[in-house]
Amino acid sequence: METEELARIEILQKRSRQSFENVIIPALIGGLTGIMTQFMIDGDILSNPWGEGSYLSTIWNMHAALLCVAVTGPLSMTVHFLRKERKAELLEFLLGGAFLLLVAALLSTMRGCGAFVLVFIWFIASGTWSRYELPPFRLGFWWGLGLVVGALSGVLAMDLRT
């Protein structure tokens, strides 16, 4: 009976570590990226390439956040996988994240509605996928979701402060 309880505790600890690594870390990195993106937009370092009053100018903040997370995301994903000593699966992991970035770019053009779809998918993935050992592509997709949702949340939070 005692060994069953110890095995159960060990499984719960492993799931907790997985949740932290695959939910909290990407969301924090994405959130910090979104905050820095908004500071760069406010400081005219990232200027809006679209004409004022056009549809694309209204969603520039989201696209700028996605552009910035397309730089910081793969870097953080690479560091994470190399630290886990899973170098052989790194390309598949990065392709999962890149695929999600492409999907996020397409969804973010839906006047903000796509961001809510991404948040919903991220909540579902974070609630269910932490129970399993995932293949690298799906793990990259999950990390990409966390990075994108964090970036969009960070840029939105900083944009709403004014």
Q: What is the pLDDT of residues 95-145, one digit of tens each?
A: 999 999 999 988 887 766 778 888 899 999 888 887 777 889 999 999 999
Query: What is the distance between the alpha carbons of residues 34 and 51, in angstroms, rounded to a whole number?
Result: 22
Question: Domain map of the chain by residue range?
Answer: 2-160
Cα separation, 61 vs 74, in Å, equals 20
Choose among 21, 129, 128, 138: nearest CA to 89.
138
Q: Return the pLDDT at 35.
A: 93
What whole-number distance in Å separates Cα of residue 160 and Cα of residue 3?
A: 52
Cα-atom radius of gyration of the chain, to the nearest Å? 17
Residues 6+ apart with CB under 8 A from 125: 141, 142, 145
* Burial (0-12, 13-18, 19+ Cβ within 10 Å), 8: exposed
Please name the residues in contact with 140: beta carbons below 8 A apart, sequence gap of 6 or more. Answer: 77, 92, 93, 94, 95, 96, 97, 98, 99, 100
pLDDT of residue 52: 79
- The pTM (predicted TM-score) of the whole model is 0.86
pLDDT band at 37 (very low <50, low <70, confident <90, very high): very high
Considering the chain, what percentage of its residues have pLDDT values greater than 90? Answer: 38
Instruction: Give whichever of 7-11, 31-35, 49-53 has the largest mean pLDDT.
Output: 31-35
Pairwise pLDDT comparison (22 vs 148), residue with the higher score: 148
d(CA 114, CA 120): 10
For residue 11, name the pLDDT band (cuts at 50, 70, 90).
confident
Q: Which amino acid is at 156?
A: L
Mean predicted lDDT score pLDDT of the chain: 86
38-60 pLDDT, tens digit each:
999 888 888 888 777 777 777 88
